[in-house]
Homo-oligomer: A and B are copies of this chain.
Amino acid sequence: MREENGMELLKERIRKDGKVKEGNVLKVDSFLNHQMDIGLFREIGKEFKRRFAGEEITKILTIEASGIGIACIAGEEFGVPVVFAKKTQTKNIAGEVYTARVESYTHGRVYDIIVSKEFIRKEDKVLLIDDFLANGKALEGLIQIVEEAGAHLAGAGIVIEKGFQPGGEKIRTRGIHLESLAIIESMDESTGEIRFRESAC
């Protein structure tokens, strides 16, 4: 059923329940980021474990809100604690937190993400987890925090990458071990058709 390098279950679900909307929006809120199918999350967590089997990982870092559920299930697979970066538009107490500025294209706003310095140490080997990768701004913010902490960045695991947007390319070019379980090559809002990068699926 499942391919060596893919995750057929996830792709089938995206095809079945994902809705292509105006402006390159893929709505997957019936199973991924509003209502959450935890059985699917378990399969996603196991797949991340397989793909990062060669990496030593001591902590998972994600970002609120929609990364949290996936990161928690993955955290159990890896047997490590999970930290989520908080989004804030208020001024932060300098010194106690790492911060990064993130520009959101989807929501047309800029926000800061913060992580308490207590929870990412320089000894940590950090795996980043998030639900979506499009322009890569949120992921770049998380990477900046890991770098600021002086921790080792083990890699980044993404559920759905929009392959036609520049985030994935930017991250891979930096030599970061990025694993996206489903990479969308193109999608058509008039027909609802979704094409994935691996031609076999």
**Interface 9-residue window, one of A61-69, A170-178, A185-193:** A61-69
Candidate in A30, A31, A38, A83 with the most chain B CB atoms within 10 angstroms: A38
Which residues of chain A from 21 to 45 have a CB within 8 Å of any chain B CB?
A: 29-31, 34-39, 41-42
Q: A64-B64, A65-B64, A65-B65 are in contact. Are A34 and B84 (CB under 8 A)?
A: yes
Q: Which residue of B lies closest to A89 (CB)?
A: B89
Per the bound structure, the CA–CA distance linking A84 and B65 in Å amounts to 9
Q: Within 8 Å CB of A81, what residues of B?
A: 31, 35-38
Does A75 sit at the interface, judged by CB under 8 A? yes
| A164 interface contact, C-beta 8 A | no
For A75, list chain B residues within 8 Å (CB): 36, 38
In whole angstroms, how far apart are the Cα atoms of A118 and B34 in the complex?
A: 10
Q: Chain A binding site: helix, strand, loop or mixed by DSSP?
A: mixed
- Pair A118/B65 contact, Cβ less than 8 Å: no
The interface residues of chain B lying within 8 Å CB-to-CB of A118 are 30, 35
B86 touches A35 (CB 8 A): no
Does chain B have a CB within 8 A of A73?
yes
A13 to B75, CA, bound (A): 19
A-B contact pairs, 17 of them (CB 8 A): A30-B118, A31-B81, A34-B84, A34-B86, A35-B116, A36-B82, A36-B83, A36-B84, A38-B76, A38-B81, A39-B76, A42-B76, A64-B64, A65-B68, A68-B69, A69-B82, A72-B73
